[in-house]
Amino acid sequence: MQDNNQEALDLLDQLEFRVWLQVEHGDTKIETLFDWILTRYGNHPCVVGVGVDVEWHHSLIKPEGTPVSDDDASAWLSAIRLHKPQCRLFLKHW
């Protein structure tokens, strides 16, 4: 099976772009998602960070999402940096 994301990231590497990979995780353990996407795509120089759409954070509990504590955000950043030490994290909410 062809991974179109790999092709796109290869091109972005060649063009020297910088990109952030964003997740909308719902109730999935976020550290598991970070592990999966950074194991698969973190080797690309164009990948400089990971974003979390917080309105999806435990959205089955609260439809607008559950707030992220400073401790959670810090733990998430640490989980990301296990894969790519210079990687950054952004959190967004509508």
Determine the straight-line distance between the first and last CA of the chain, rounded to whole angstroms. 35
Domain ranges of the chain: 18-92
Chain centroid to Cα 9, Å, comes to 15
For the segment 27-59, what is each residue's pLDDT rounded down to a tens digit?
778 899 999 999 999 999 999 999 988 776 666
For 46, residues 6+ apart whose C-beta sits below 8 A from its C-beta are 9, 12, 13, 16, 17, 18, 19
Q: Calculate mean pLDDT across residues 57-77.
A: 79
CB 48 within 8 A of CB 19: yes
What confidence tier does 1 reach under pLDDT thresholds 50, 70, 90?
Answer: confident
The residue among 23 and 5 whose pLDDT is bigger is 5
Per the confidence metrics, is the pTM higher than 0.75? yes
Q: What is the residue whose two structure tokens read 């690309």? A: 44
**Distance, CA of 9 to CA of 17 (rounded, Å):** 9
Q: What is the pLDDT, as a whole number, of residue 55?
A: 73
